[in-house]
Amino acid sequence: MNIFETIDKTEHEEVVFCHNKDVGLKAIIAIHNTVLGPALGGLRMWPYKTEQEALNDVLRLSRGMTYKAAVSGLNLGGGKSIIIGDPKTDKSEELFRAFGRFIDSLGGRYITAEDVGIDVNDMEYVFQETENVVGVHQVHGGSGDPSPFTAYGTYQGIKASLEKKFGNQNIGDYSYAVQGVGHVGMELVKLLHKDGAKIFVTDINEEAIQHCVDNYGCEAVGLDEIYDVDAQVYSPCALGATVNDDTIGRFGFDIVCGSANNQLAETRHGDELEQRGMVYAPDYAVNAGGLMNVSIELEGYNRERALRMTRNIYYNIKRIFDIADRDGIATWKAADRMGEERIQKMGKVKLPFMCQKNVKFSGRSKNGNN
């Protein structure tokens, strides 16, 4: 791969390769766009088969964060980082502290957070070397677990989608197929149950499924059966690419709205959903609640402010539907257009983010004394 040809096509501003032989660190930081503000995106640890696969992943994910932040109305850019390694066997204090030093060397242009394979304990080590971390433990003035906010944002997206399809927001009048009841999916089930909804659930974790059945009256179905249930709303909250050639013909749903990333196997599947009369709420706009929540840390975390911001996902999704109608395009394309229009307009008055002076992290303390 020719790196400069690649980032010219993807329009990345900066790609940083981080290596520390002594601690076994091989990492990549990708900063896609900082017109709206410093790049924010999670750190993922994964045993990539090749370095090329790792690079492809971090470039794709960082670009997605640019669009998520832009559509969400945040003054943030898009970035992402990856560590090549097995999260079950390769973690160490020295690994994450070495990585934290690389983050710090960027002067605030990139702010990291938890992602796949990373937990709050890993972030504690990174936080010891740099302030440019969000999602730190609440003892440090951080926001803690973002899952309830991601679920609440998904709930808001569902309300906007119901209004688009049926002209009302009556959650309890409809049934839901929730695929995946991990941290986010379980929180979404709680919200839907509170409104009296009928809920089908599936997951590889049988204990989580049983918890949903026992506590929220859900009906459990098999992993492959979820695509065939009689529900109005399909809410993928685990795997990506579940809207694909094999599943889409089986859908009897009216709405697809969930928290999973990259729900469409290909963008053409978003077109097909529309052709089949289904409303698709674009995933990165729906699942932005977690990003909104951690972004509050930049100026001093406040839970009520985070909840108020997450409620805006309802209006963001409605705006995407309006753009789709205005331009005669599918909703996935309308979401991209909404993000691009904001970046383009703000790009006339702002330059790429280059320094740390505006990153406040008010109210945080590494020793836990706030």
- Single out the catalytic residue among 68, 80, 91, 333: 80
Is 289:146 a contact under the CB 8 Å cutoff? yes
Residues in contact with 204: Cβ distance below 8 Å, sequence separation at least 6, in sequence order: 223
User: What does DSSP say about strands 255-256 and 279-280: parallel, antiparallel, or unpaired?
Assistant: parallel
Beta bridge partners of 77: 39
Is 62:7 a contact under the CB 8 Å cutoff? no
Distance CA 182, CA 235 (A): 13
The per-residue b/e assignment along 233-261, b for 16 or more CB within 10 angstroms, e otherwise, is: bbbbbbeeebbeeebbeebebbbbbbbbb
Distance CA 96, CA 280 (A): 38
Distance CA 224, CA 185 (A): 17
Q: Is 26 a catalytic residue?
A: no
| Active site members | 80
